[in-house]
Amino acid sequence: MIRPYDAIGYAWVTFFVIWWIAAVRTKRTARTQSVGSRLLQGGLAAAGAVLLFAPRIGIRWLGLELLPDTAALAYTGAALTFAGIAFAVWARFAIGRNWSGTVTIKQDHELIRRGPYALVRHPIYSGLLLAVVGTALAVNELRGLAALVLVTLAFCLKLRTEESFMLQQFGDQYRGYRREVKALIPFVI
């Protein structure tokens, strides 16, 4: 039987393979975010990933256990990771050729409001944050919580940039969408 943490690793690898393959077919970029904002967001996310996936980084207190270590916690973490990755992949396919790893406006960009985009405006971020929560639970160390904080900060910064781009591109249509659909958590925020 596969261990929960190993299953989580396979899930993340599968996610990145799907992401890489799907990235090949996107529309041409018409406008992109600044290099500085991209580096800040990417740096925060990368630091979070290192904390989440590198168990021995030399800072002893980051290895402190947060909750009693149980199989139920590990399996719950794995389930949340799978659910988050599945949601993010669904969103990636729903956005189709409009997708980009950085905040961009594509040529002939469309405002997607179907599928997971009917539930939240940024379902890829929502899914990935849920997956990070799950992985952090399974890791069950302070470094997992620190990783979650860094990745959340990265996505919040990216979300702000993306919201600005969408408002400039779609104006009142996007304002209406913002009134109707929450950003990250359905019916909450």
Q: Per-residue pLDDT for 172 more than 90?
A: yes
Query: How do the domains of the chain map onto residue ranges?
Result: 4-16+29-180
pLDDT digits (tens, 9 = 90+) for 45-102: 999 999 998 877 667 778 778 888 899 999 999 999 999 999 999 999 999 999 988 8
6 Cβ contact list (under 8 Å, min separation 6):
none
pLDDT digits (tens, 9 = 90+) for 119-141: 999 999 999 999 999 999 999 99
Residues 129 and 184: beta-carbon distance below 8 Å = yes
Q: Which of 85, 92, 91, 93 is nearest to 8 (CA)?
A: 85
Q: Per-residue pLDDT for 38 more than 90?
A: yes
Residues 51 and 62: beta-carbon distance below 8 Å = yes
Write the CATH number of the domain with boundaries 4-16+29-180.
1.20.120.1630
pLDDT band at 39 (very low <50, low <70, confident <90, very high): very high
Other CB atoms within a 10 A radius of the CB of residue 181 amount to 17
- Strand residues in 94-146 grouped as ranges (E): 104-106
